[in-house]
Each structure stands twice: as structure tokens, then as C-alpha cells.
Amino acid sequence: MVIFEDCRVPKLNRIGAEGEGFKIAMAGLDGGRLNIGACSIGAAKACLTLAREHVATRKQFGNAIANFQATQFKLADMATDLAAARLMIRNAAAMLDAKHPEATMYCAMAKRFATDAGFAICNEALQLHGGYGYLKDYPVERFLRDSRVHQILEGTNEIMRVIVSRALLSGSFLD
């Protein structure tokens, strides 16, 4: 936490015009949201890799659990959601770089989707690890815990939904 009490900043050191601080701070949120989404994607990728390795070696009823169709379906869904989240983050980043007028909405959508998908993928990886996934000896536990906060940072995912819905209701989106 950074606290400034009775802190005076000379005019020469001010960023922007007086009264524009909030606007300047808000302009940095889109990039921050993409960064948080990318962090979730990294955690999800790591968990998917760990889960794939675990299910290939863990046996139940004399079979690797990777051979069970339910496990295969989970892995397929995890990989699909990870790929979709990556594409959304990349698309939003391209729009932000291009200063597209709807970049903020796309950054909000990408952050919301990537962080929700990232947490869900980490959670499924923990489930595929069984009781081991909950132990601190296994990195999946930490990835799950860390990915949960991504749904809150840089604006909660509920706020991301507000941003998207306001853009929709104002006539923006996929025009």
C-alpha cells in the first residue's frame, strides 16, 4: 500500500492538466486488464500441463485415468477454453494498440473471459489431481489460489460485465 499524506507535488512534476488524474488513471486500466487476463492464461496453461502429466501416470482400476473418457472430455474442454481466452486477449490487445474506439469494451470482455476461464481450468486441474491437488506440495493448489484473485483485480468481473453491457446498450459492439 502506498499512502501520501500532506504530499505536495510541484506543477512541473504533474502528469497532465489539473483535474485529469482520474481520466489518466482510467486510461491505464485497459492494459492492466489485459495483463491480468494474460496472467490467468499462464496459470491455466501451467495447470493444464500439470493435469495432463498427472492423469497420464495416475492409475485407477489398473488404468491410467487419462484413458477414461470423462477425463479426456475435461482435458479437451480445458484446452478449448484456454485457446479461446488466448484469442480474446490477443484480439483485445490488437484493438488497444490500434486505439480502436471499442477497445475498452473488448479489454473488459477479454479480462472477464480469460480470468473466469483461467480459474475454471485451474479448478478442473485440481479436480483431476484429486486430493493431491489440494496439497501445497503440488503447484496446482497455488495456481488455483492465485488465479482466483484475477477475477477481482483491475476491476471485478461484475464491473467488466457493466462495461460491456453499457457499450451494448449504447449501440456499440460488433458493428
Count other Cβ atoms within 10 Å, centred on residue 48: 20
Please say if 154 is a catalytic residue: yes
- Selected from 1.20.140.10, 3.50.50.60, 1.10.10.60, 1.10.10.920, the CATH number assigned to the domain covering 30-169 reads 1.20.140.10
Q: Which candidate in 5, 18, 154, 158 is catalytic? A: 154
Confidence of residue 82 (pLDDT cuts 50, 70, 90): very high
- The grid coordinates of residue 32 equal 492492466
DSSP label of 102: T
Task: Determine the residue type at 166.
Answer: R
How far apart (Å, rounded) are the C-alpha atoms in residues 42 and 11?
Answer: 41
User: CB-based contacts of 21: which residues, under 8 Å, 6+ apart?
Assistant: 15
pLDDT, position 27 = 75
Instruction: Indicate yes or no: pTM above 0.85.
Output: yes
50-54, 97-101, 168-172: the lowest-pLDDT one: 168-172
Count other Cβ atoms within 10 Å, centred on residue 161: 13
pLDDT in tens, 16-73: 888 888 777 777 899 999 999 999 999 999 999 999 999 999 999 999 999 999 999 9
Q: Where in the chain are the domains?
A: 30-169
